[in-house]
Amino acid sequence: MEIKWHRDFSIKNMQLDKQHELIFEIADLANDLVALNIQDNNTQHKNDLKQILVKLFQYIKIHFKDEEKFMESIDFPLIEEHKKSHQILAEKTKELLEHSDNIVKMSQELSILTKDWILDHIANEDLWIANFTKKALHLQEIHYTLERYIKLKSIKQDLRAEKTHDYICNCSLRIHAVPQTIHQELVSKENTLKCEKCGQILVHLDYFDLNQNFEKFNAIFEDALQNHHFTTQKNDMGGGDR
């Protein structure tokens, strides 16, 4: 799976966005090297991994400093928590660099570091900064479309074979197929996703009160019949609750 920066990850600061894009490129190079799965006695491969780690460590230190300066300039309310995340990421990268004799273990740890820590931090925690600048900071809202969030999660694992769950919004007869992994996150963490088209929170059909919403749902149904656009829209994951 290619690790690529997307404008959805933008925090509305050109300098920081460019830095994030470069970090994604470094992470993608690291991912390619890890995927080679070369044996422990390959000196060249070990040196390549170390060079990637050094480059990553040096660059994130510069980036974190610039990002923290920007957060201070906008009085970002979660700056201390964000600084702690930066410190943890820098320490994990440095620790991996200091214990890089075992190439197999280093490859595994590098994969975890880039996907589970650095990219997750950029794609989730850093997005709070962008939403604060828009005065839309809500820590339980996932600020991505479902389609983009599926692609983000797919960096870590393949979601295509997962069972999906049906979610609905205010769009006319539209059904969103949410993969099991994301569905569990929405339920267990009480997080929310919004529909890109109507801007309303996606609701799992199990929690949708058909009696309470009958008149509204029936009006949508009648309108769809009259205007000949009776189509149930699905995302790329296919059908739901199967």
Same domain, 65 and 124: yes
Same domain, 109 and 203: no
Decide: helix, strand or coil at residue 170. Answer: coil
DSSP 68-94: HHHHHHTT-TTHHHHHHHHHHHHHHHH
Print the domain residue range for 200. 159-226
Same domain, 36 and 85: yes
Query: What's the mean pLDDT in 44-72?
Result: 89
Same domain, 96 and 189: no
Whether 233 shows a pLDDT value over 50: the answer reads: no
Same domain, 166 and 121: no
Higher pLDDT, residue 106 or 52: 52
Predicted local confidence at residue 140, as pLDDT? 59
Predicted local confidence at residue 40, as pLDDT? 54
- Residue-wise pLDDT for 94-129, tens only, equals 888 887 677 777 777 888 888 777 778 887 788 888
For the chain, the average pLDDT equals: 77
Same domain, 95 and 200: no
| Residues 6+ away with beta carbon under 8 Å from 162 | 179, 180, 181, 237
Whether 30 shows a pLDDT value over 90: the answer reads: no
Same domain, 163 and 96: no
Whether 232 shows a pLDDT value over 70: the answer reads: no
Contact by Cβ (8 Å): 61, 19: no
Structural domain includes residue 88: yes
Alpha helices per DSSP H over the chain: 14-35, 43-73, 79-98, 103-112, 120, 127-133, 146-153, 180-188, 214-226
Same domain, 113 and 53: yes
Total domains in the chain come to: 2
- Percent pLDDT > 70 in the chain is 75
CATH code of residue 110: 1.20.120.50
Same domain, 104 and 32: yes
